[in-house]
């Protein structure tokens, strides 16, 4: 258990509204990630963070922004939700074991944009 | 560009038999890592096994082993003695990483759905 929680776990929202998803970790990991999962695409990276206030874009970052003001929290914001952003969103952290660093995932947030 | 290919959308295996899930990758980097994750119907992503590109031996974790063939750029997952609880979606992923780089991004394949028959 990597101590990752996501909130909310499920959300239904309307097109055009802003939405913020929260990822919280309890073990002071430096790297955090947001992925989305869609049928036929596997998981794709949206944004990631390599420290407080240090973030960068992934391959599907359009329409999303992130913030990390504390080590333990990584927020994903959909500035104006669209139906194409209906997806399952996973947060992840990178945790070390010897010389390797595996990524561990939170439980996911299912977002539906109507 | 990095790419992960899983060519088996779905597979069936008889309980107690072994099964191999295929994964091929493409990268121009010399240092990288390969991962397998399991996603049961409940939706969580469960880390199974990791193989570094410089590791000389194939990784093993209990009933899971990774058949790493660097020259062929393949990283197949072998599950021995399949159990009903192994029924799930399995994802192969790759991370470009320097040896001590904590923060490499993962590129995922599209997954293989494994069904274990009693």
Average pLDDT, stretch B93-103?
67
pLDDT of residue A41: 77
Is residue B100 pLDDT above 70, yes or no?
A: no
What's the CA gap between B29 and B9, in Å, rounded? 27
More confident residue, B103 or B66: B66
pLDDT of residue B1: 74
Is residue A99 pLDDT above 60, yes or no?
A: no
pLDDT of residue A95: 80
B contact test, residue of A30, A31, A43, A104 with most B CBs within 10 A: A43
Distance of CA A7 to the CA centre of its chain: 10
CA distance A16 to chain B (A): 27
Say yes or no for a CB contact (<8 Å) between A94 and B111. Answer: no
pLDDT bracket for residue B82 (50, 70, 90): very high
What's the CA gap between A34 and A49, in Å, rounded? 9
Q: Which residue of A has its CA nearest to B107?
A: A44
Residues in chain A within 8 Å Cβ distance of B59: none
**CB of A98 within 8 Å of any CB in chain B?**
no
pLDDT of residue B109: 95
Strand partners, B25: B4
- Total residue length of chain A: 114
Nearest 5°: CA angle at A102, between B108 and B9?
A: 25
What's the CA gap between A27 and A70, in Å, rounded? 12
CA distance B9 to chain A (A): 10
Q: Which of B71, B49, B48, B67 has its CA nearest to residue B58?
A: B67
Q: Which residue of B has its CA nearest to A101?
A: B102
pLDDT of residue A42: 84
The pairing of strands A73-78 and A19-25 is antiparallel
Average pLDDT, stretch B53-71?
93
Hey, what are B116's tokens? 């274990």
């Amino acid at each position: 258990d990597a101590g990752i929680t996501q909130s909310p776990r499920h959300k239904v929202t309307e097109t055009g509204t802003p939405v913020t998803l929260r990822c919280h970790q309890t073990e002071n990991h430096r790297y955090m990630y947001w992925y989305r999962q869609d049928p036929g695409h596997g998981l794709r990276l949206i944004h990631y963070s390599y420290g407080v206030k240090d973030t960068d874009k992934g391959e599907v970052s359009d329409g999303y922004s992130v913030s990390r003001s504390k080590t333990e929290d990584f927020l994903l914001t959909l500035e104006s939700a669209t139906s194409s952003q209906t997806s399952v969103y996973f947060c992840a952290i990178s945790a070390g074991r010897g010389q390797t660093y595996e990524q561990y995932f939170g439980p996911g947030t299912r977002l539906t944009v109507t | 560009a990095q790419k992960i290919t899983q060519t088996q959308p779905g597979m069936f295996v008889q309980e107690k038999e072994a099964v191999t899930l295929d994964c091929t990758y493409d990268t121009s980097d010399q240092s990288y890592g390969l991962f397998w994750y399991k996603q049961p119907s409940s939706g969580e992503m469960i880390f199974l096994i990791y193989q570094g590109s410089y590791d000389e031996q194939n990784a093993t974790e209990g009933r899971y082993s990774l058949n790493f063939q660097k020259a062929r750029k393949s990283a197949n997952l072998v599950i021995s003695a399949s159990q009903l609880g192994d029924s799930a979606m399995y994802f192969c992923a790759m991370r470009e990483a320097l040896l001590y780089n904590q923060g490499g991004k993962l590129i995922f394949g599209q997954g293989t759905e494994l069904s274990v028959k009693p």
